[in-house]
Amino acid sequence: MPRSLFVVGDPKQSIYSFQGADPSGFTRMQDHFGGRLSAVGHRLDHIDLPVSFRSAPEVLRVVDATFVPDDRNRGLGGAPEHVAAHGDLPGRVDLWPLVPKAEDGAEDPDWHDPVDRVDAAHHDVVLARRIAGEIARLCDPACGETLPVRQRDADTGTERIVRRPLQPGDFLVLVRRRSTLFAEVIRACKALGLPIAGADRLRLGGELAVRDLAALLSFLATPEDDLSLAAVLKSPLFGWSEDRLFRLAHGRPGYLWEALRSRRAGGGEDDLATLAVLDDLRGQADFLRPFELLERVLTRHDGRRRLLARLGPEAEDGIDALLAQALAYEANETPSLTGFLGWMETEDVEVKRQLSTATGVVRVMTIHGAKGLEAPVVILPDTRPPRGRGKGACVLPGPGGTAMWRPRAEDADPLARAALDAAAARDAEEQERLLYVAMTRAETWLIVAGSGDMGVDGGSGERAWYRMVARGMEASGAVPVDTPDGPVQRLTSPLWDAPPLIAAPATTSPAIALPAWARRPAPPPPLDEGPLSPSDLGVAKALPGDPGTGDEAAAKRRGRQLHLLLEHLPDHPPAARAAIAARLLAAGEDAATATEAAALAAEAARILDDPALAAVFAPGTLAEAEIAAVLPELGGRPVAGAIDRLAIHPDRVVLTDFKTNALVPARPEDVPEGILRQMGAYAACLALVYPGRAVETAILWTAAPRLMPLPPALIAAALARVRLP
């Protein structure tokens, strides 16, 4: 059977340039393999696969209309033309009205507010609250909204479209990056009590609850750490005010912990309660593992409730992640408090959570993290003009494979300006592919929203995803519709609210009884590092004095070159063999000079033109036939290799192995032991693969050239002499 190459890829979904992905590489490799196959008379077929098995037709219609091939949209390499595999599945696409950018400085914040606090009137906060409110409304049974889904009847095999109430697990919110909007959507969903998976990535060092717990652990490990103790007292774990902490710390003669303990005799109830908790934890710090100590703080001393009451329900993700990291640390290290603190500080732990397995909860993810996933309802709120990631790269590719340092825009010469423009164009094209991936995650319902400044229309605003989708919606025939939250642009299927449709019965194959061999349990796999190679069963494979034993590397290289020609040239007419041989030997690790290629082509032609060898290369014989079997002769070890030439007949199989040894033995008994073992292994494998057929073996000595049949008893005895470790 001829060898084949099968490659599946979609350059439209190449969104990982920060990991080195380059969509043009797909085309380069396609041209590369096409040229290599053409050199041996084969072709590489390019087959488009426009059928989408995920999305409803309405979603695909908007996707196709969004990426029209013009000067603005070049990232997909052309206009996508999708075909919905489930053409009867109702779909819907909504474009929400834009939330305008909040005015800066509308109200001066209080001086004691955190500088990074997002105002409640901020456009991202407003949009996040609307997203959470819409999810909550749609999941309320009183809303009456249902979701069309395909359902297969297990008894009859028929498929039909049924409608069921929406659930939180139907919603997937996709953002471009983990920005303010990302955090606010999670916060808004938790504020409404929606089950939500939380952030897909957590940097533990950035979570306030984790910082408070880490400060407490630092104090327990080193009571003289005044800063950690002060942070713990001010944290929600104890809730001290600024004035109360100042009165304790100001003018103290020693450490802060000593000043606190000195209040034991005449302190108030609050001081005594704080001391009781700290004394209990200090008494257990040397005996409990880090996880047990954290759990004692959170449960026995009410730490979890206190933290969530002050920081909000979103703090629970960080607390749970810290507990998980404590368990992971204890599984690999000797559990100690100081060791855990040092591990947390040096590792800069970032937790990646697999939201693809989360069920029944709202998922909020980046588009990169959602690659390969899908959801019935996808909400895409982060649609402002993209900010190119390439702006921060220090090195730019230059002409002819060169590189240059990135200059400031005002200092760039024409060559650097061209490189800057090319980098910006590549980033803009990848941003279009990112939008394509986001939109095609939706199965049934796609919701697109936006907030903030969309840029100037005709300038940077042309790259805004919101405007791109708006143009696609207009071209698709979307119409304005009034909803409880205001007017939206909507494209919906006429079947969205129609009665359920029953599809045609699915065809099922008749039941076929399994043969006896399929019902037997498989033998246990051998405990080894992999299959044995017939060509590597020990001892020498050349006669003493063979010139090839002097420069073994050169002899092996020449053998591989001649094997390559004898594999491909028999399929071509004699007149074309010289040119094909030159192309075959022009590239690769065994590339030959023109003189070497001509000599090898002449040697191959002499072998192929020999009438005594015609049966070896007859039409229908197989070249480089791969074979594998488990041989009892080798203790049940698996063996895998490739036979140079194999002829399969109704009553027998004939294998021929090419040997390029310079010194040719006069008779089969003089063949080197290593070659006899190799041929014995091949024959034993073929006897298992083709039971009931005779197995004949022969060696084609290319230096003669001469075909030498081998007696079955000779190679079987050689195989029996193999001793495995």
pTM, entire model: 0.60
Q: Are residues 366 and 263 in the same domain?
A: no
Q: Mean pLDDT of all residues in the chain?
A: 84
- Whole-number pLDDT of residue 485: 72
Is the residue at 575 inside a domain? yes
Higher pLDDT, 423 or 287: 287
- Whole-number pLDDT of residue 508: 44
- Whole-number pLDDT of residue 361: 86
Average pLDDT of the segment spanning 86-96: 90
Measured in whole angstroms, the distance separating CA 595 from the mean position of its chain's CA atoms is: 47
Taking 50 as the threshold, does the pLDDT of residue 390 lie above it? no
Pick from 21-30, 37-46, 248-257: least confident: 21-30
* Amino acid at the residue 69: P
- Furthest-apart CA atoms within the chain: distance in Å: 114
Helix axes 315-332 and 208-221, enclosed angle (nearest 10): 40
Q: Are residues 584 and 710 in the same domain?
A: yes
Residue 595 DSSP one-character state: H
Q: Quick: pLDDT tens for 456-509.
A: 655 456 778 899 999 999 999 999 998 877 789 999 998 887 665 544 444 444
**CATH number of the domain enclosing 653:** 3.90.320.10
Contact 538, 677 (CB under 8 A): yes
CA torsion angle for 80, 85, 89, 95 (degrees, to 10)? -10
Domain final position from 301, 333, 352: 352
Q: What whole-number distance in Å separates Cα of residue 320 and Cα of residue 200?
A: 13
Taking 60 as the threshold, does the pLDDT of residue 189 lie above it? yes
What's the alpha-carbon Rg for the chain, to the nearest Å? Answer: 36
- Whole-number pLDDT of residue 506: 41
Q: Are residues 210 and 289 in the same domain?
A: yes
Cβ burial 77-112 (10 Å sphere, 16+ → b, else e) = beebebebebebbbbbbbbbebbeebeeeeeeeeee
Q: Are residues 345 and 369 in the same domain?
A: no
Average pLDDT of the segment spanning 556-568: 89
Taking 90 as the threshold, does the pLDDT of residue 173 lie above it? yes
Average pLDDT of the segment spanning 151-174: 84
Question: Which strands form 652-659's sheet, in the order they lie side by side?
Answer: 622-631, 637-648, 652-659, 694-701, 706-710
Q: What whole-number distance in Å separates Cα of residue 719 and Cα of residue 84?
A: 58
In 222-314, which ranges are continuous DSSP H helix?
Answer: 226-234, 242-249, 256-261, 269-284, 290-295, 303-311
Measured in whole angstroms, the distance separating CA 601 from the mean position of its chain's CA atoms is: 45
Is the residue at 327 inside a domain? yes
Q: Are residues 224 and 341 in the same domain?
A: yes
Q: Which two tokens stand for residue 585?
A: 């030997």
Taking 90 as the threshold, does the pLDDT of residue 586 lie above it? no
Contact 611, 705 (CB under 8 A): no
Q: Are residues 625 and 710 in the same domain?
A: yes
Q: What whole-number distance in Å separates Cα of residue 225 and Cα of residue 217?
A: 11
Taking 80 as the threshold, does the pLDDT of residue 546 lie above it? no
Contact 406, 397 (CB under 8 A): no
How many structural domains compose the chain? 3
Per-state percent for the chain, helix, strand, coil, to nearest 5: 45, 15, 40
CA torsion angle for 667, 672, 677, 683 (degrees, to 10)? -30
**CATH number of the domain enclosing 323:** 1.10.486.10
Q: What whole-number distance in Å separates Cα of residue 190 and Cα of residue 196?
A: 7
C-alpha atoms less than 13 angstroms from C-alpha of 288 in its C-beta half-sphere: 18
Is the residue at 677 inside a domain? yes
Q: Under DSSP, is residue 178 helix (H, G, I), strand (E, B) or coil? A: coil
226 Cβ partners below 8 Å, 6+ apart? 249, 255, 256, 257
Q: Are residues 305 and 367 in the same domain?
A: no
Of 201, 179, 183, 182, the closest CA to residue 349 belongs to: 201
- Whole-number pLDDT of residue 331: 86
- Whole-number pLDDT of residue 456: 63
Q: What whole-number distance in Å separates Cα of residue 694 and Cα of residue 683?
A: 10
528 Cβ partners below 8 Å, 6+ apart? 637, 638
Q: Under DSSP, is residue 309 helix (H, G, I), strand (E, B) or coil? A: helix
Higher pLDDT, 485 or 332: 332
Is the residue at 557 inside a domain? yes
Is the residue at 77 inside a domain? no
Question: Which strands form 158-165's sheet, in the order they lie side by side?
Answer: 146-152, 158-165, 502-505
Q: Quick: pLDDT tens for 257-287.
A: 999 988 876 667 778 889 999 999 999 998 8
Q: What whole-number distance in Å separates Cα of residue 247 and Cα of residue 268?
A: 14
Pick from 589-593, 661-665, 682-686: least confident: 589-593
Q: Are residues 445 and 384 in the same domain?
A: yes
Q: Are residues 485 and 578 in the same domain?
A: no
Is the residue at 280 inside a domain? yes
Q: Are residues 406 and 483 in the same domain?
A: yes
Residue 152: pLDDT band with limits 50, 70, 90: confident
Q: Are residues 670 and 554 in the same domain?
A: yes
Q: What whole-number distance in Å separates Cα of residue 475 and Cα of residue 68?
A: 10
Q: What percent of the chain has pLDDT above 90? A: 37
Which own/partner contact pairs does 649-652 have at CB distance under 8 Å and 24+ positions apart? 649/693, 650/693, 651/693, 651/694, 652/693, 652/694, 652/695, 652/696
Taking 60 as the threshold, does the pLDDT of residue 106 lie above it? no
Higher pLDDT, 713 or 520: 713
Q: What whole-number distance in Å separates Cα of residue 151 and Cα of residue 167?
A: 17
Pick from 81-85, 297-301, 592-596: least confident: 81-85
Phi, psi of 91 (to 5 degrees): -135, 165
- Whole-number pLDDT of residue 507: 42
- Whole-number pLDDT of residue 310: 87
Domain extent at residue 621:
547-720
Q: In the beta sheet, which residues pair with residue 363?
A: 172
Q: Which two tokens stand for residue 503?
A: 């599809």
Is the residue at 205 inside a domain? yes
Q: Are residues 285 and 375 in the same domain?
A: no
Domain final position from 492, 513, 534: 492
Is the residue at 476 inside a domain? yes
Higher pLDDT, 105 or 352: 352
Q: Quick: pLDDT tens for 335-377.
A: 889 888 888 776 566 666 656 555 688 999 888 888 888 899 9
CA geometry: angle at 650 spanning 648 and 655, to 5°? Answer: 25
Q: What whole-number distance in Å separates Cα of residue 147 and Cα of residue 130?
A: 20
- Whole-number pLDDT of residue 509: 47
